[in-house]
Amino acid sequence: MKNCSGEFFNIKEKDSSFRGKGLLENGRILGIMADARKAITTYHDHLGDDSERKKCLDQIMVIIPHHCGDHSSCNDPGLCQYSSMKKENPDWTDEQIQHKVAETSLRHEGTYMDLSEEGCDRLMKVLMKRFNLESID
């Protein structure tokens, strides 16, 4: 975990496009790592189970898009407040859901990282380099 979070801090330090409010802030890095840790801890209760391994890796794959506001792949409402709110209120617009999530969110005041697609891809590569089929067990 430390290597991965350290790599995020290095990216932020070396590339100014990741610095600033609404970008790769320290609290955001900690949130990303907490989400990865949660997925891995849940999997380790079922270590070696192929379906649980896939579920864990799928959860890790959606962490960066989730933190950038793309909830289209968030498939566990227990892990994503936006998905949970959408499931509870299927008739609400995305704006209504986002507003309610922002009101009730304890992390990041309901805001997202405002990164380019390339920025999101770069962060995904960091996560997937550390957490993949060969290293997850």
DSSP state of 136: -
Cβ 113 vs Cβ 23: under 8 Å: yes
Q: How many CB atoms lie within 10 A of CB 6?
A: 12
pLDDT at position 6 is 92
Question: Degrees (nearest 5) of the Cα angle 67, 69, 70?
Answer: 105
Cβ neighbourhood burial of 29 (10 Å; 0-12, 13-18, 19+):
buried
Tell me, what's the pLDDT at 136?
A: 85
The predicted-structure confidence for 33-74, as pLDDT tens digits, reads as follows: 999 999 999 999 999 899 999 999 999 999 999 999 899 898
Q: In the structure encoding, which two tokens stand for residue 120, read together?
A: 């999101």
The predicted model scores a pTM of 0.86
The 10s digit of each residue's pLDDT in 77-124 is: 778 888 999 999 999 998 899 888 888 877 776 678 999 999 999 999
